[in-house]
Structure 1
Amino acid sequence: MNLRAASRLVLMPAALALLLAACQPSTPEEAAAAPPAAEAPAADAPAEAIADEPALDPAAAAAAGQADASADAAAQGAPAGETPPPAPASTPSAVTFATEGEHYDLIPGGQPFEPLDGKIEVVEVFNYVCPACAMFQPLVNTWKARLPADVRFTYVPAPFGGNWDPYVRAYYAAEAMGIADKAHDGIFQAIHVDRSLKGERGADSAQDIARAYAKFGADPAQFASTMASFTVNAKFGRAKQYIAQQRANSTPTMIVNGRYRIKARNFETMLENTDRVIAQVRAGG
């Protein structure tokens, strides 16, 4: 990827302060079938707060922090008006930081996508056609690189109808051919940077998509055939069932162990809150 292309995928620090804009089902049928969105507005709407969370007010947050510090000082017997020595910096791994309703929603009856086998599972529900997923991906790459050995990260592509569905099949065809990881960032680039694929702008045929994967070692004819295979059809159905059960009605959505759907106001906070929930699960929470 050249520098110009990379600059269009990677969010600048100032842009990361903007609220998370998620992608949602684009067809009337899928929108009607999906539960009400709980995470964020559509990506092409003006940036605004997540529906069920207030906008972050830095001044209010600072005031709250000062109030908490004063309360701590009183509890510890510190003289009024004096601030006690600062406590050691907390990290996202502090179990107490994971609070239901603030950092995550608990999914009733939620199940992991794969058997845990002693691992902590983190799923990202995504789709290549989703602009928010394309913006989120560079941060995910950095975050994944530092995951501990007991955490298993899994992509689950979202079949929200329309041109979303061929890319679910494409992901699982690439997985079957052993090139999913190698091609992952490149397909985002083909849709959102190079525009050699249409994504949500139009209909991409299996042959169009297969030609894009040829850059990563796939035989186009074999790839298109694999997209329609029994194995891919089965994985497509499983992804659709999982997403419905987890009420993941927008992308990107992060889910831990099938039980914790991460809440966040922006991309960075989504990963921080995922870390907090991972720590809670590891501690037996």
Structure 2
Amino acid sequence: MLKNWIKSIVLTASLLASTAAMAYTEGKDYKALAKPQPVAVAGKQEVIEFFWYGCPHCYAIEPAVESWAAKLPANVNFRRVHVMWDGRNDMEGHAKIFLALEGMGLTAKHQLAVFDAVQKDRIELRKEDVLFDWVKKQGLDLAKFKANYNGFSTQMQLNKLTETTKTYAIDGVPTFIVNGKWVTSPAMVGKEDDTITKVIDELLAKTPAAKAAAKPKK
């Protein structure tokens, strides 16, 4: 009797999980990427967040994204890419901040701080004197930050951000790419809260790591 009861509970849980797994709809809450791309790390699943520090919608969901990212299992590679569109010079200053923090390995730690400065405090971080003063106040190594912000490879890295934006056909932010196969965004799901992370989790379950194409070795 106990065994049958346990089986019943397990079956019910499975049915509930199955129902939950069908909560989001392809074509509405997410869609297939027109040109699938390889993941960056072989054997791992991947989520890419395309964003812009100047985007209020990106700022609105970032706390939920931070909370979600902190709980990701080791087999999921989460990375951020600052969007760069041709002809949008207003993005370059923010993108350079992203590149500088990336070069120092501090993007995740200071992501919300940059967003707060730009979106909440209205600090014009695209002005270098303002930016460097802010960097010092954050307790960052200003010399290292400047080296990454104005390094000889900075323009090349900016060009790479532009190419990556084109490769994934990003036409709005925030946008998330899952395993190089699926695209979703708060605009698609119609909410700027943790709903987007639930959609991402469903897509991760939809495409296991074993099925995620790995980037070929050079």
TM normalised by structure 1 equals 0.60
Q: 1: CA distance between counterparts of 2:134 and 2:83? A: 20
Equivalent-residue separation in structure 2 for 1:157 and 1:231 (angstroms): 16
Offset at 1:198? 2.8
Q: Which of the residues 113, 117, 121 maps onto 1:194?
A: 121
- What is the distance in 1 between the residues matched to 2:64 and 2:18? 18
Q: Percent identity?
A: 27
1:206 and 1:159 mapped to 2: Cα distance? 19
Residue aligning to 1:271? 197
Higher relative contact order (CA closer than 8 Å, sequence separation 6+) = 2
Structure 2, gaps ≥5 residues long: 1-11, 213-218
Per the TM alignment, residue 183 of structure 1 is displaced from its structure 2 partner at its CA by 1.7
| Matches of 1:218 and 1:230, distance apart in 2 | 21
Matched, 1:100 2:26: yes
Q: How far apart are residue 110 of structure 1 and its match?
A: 2.7
Aligned equivalent of 2:177:
255
Mapped partners of 1:264, 1:248: distance in 2? 17
Worse-matched range after superposition: 159-168 or 244-253:
159-168
**Structure 1 position 179, deviation (Å):** 2.5
Alignment deviations for residues 27-82 of structure 1 (CA, whole Å, 9 cap, x no partner): xxxxxxxxxxxxxxxxxxxxxxxxxxxxxxxxxxxxxxxxxxxxxxxxxxxxxxxx
Any runs of at least 4 consecutive aligned residues in structure 1 with deviations exceeding 6 A, and if so which? none
Q: Whose Rg is larger? A: 1
Runs of 5+ unmatched residues, structure 1: 1-84
* Alpha-carbon RMSD: 2.7
Classify the secondary structure of the residue corresponding to 2:207. Answer: helix
> Retained in 2: the 8 A contact 1:169–1:236?
yes
Distance 2:131 2:33 in 1: 34
Tell me the TM-score normalised to structure 2 length. 0.77
Answer yes or no: is 1:140 the counterpart of 2:65: yes
Aligned counterpart in structure 1 of residue 102 of structure 2, from 175, 179, 185: 175
Q: Render the CA deviation track for 1:227-246: whole Å, top value 9, x for unaligned.
A: 22233323222221111121
Paired positions, count? 194
Richer in helix (by share): 2
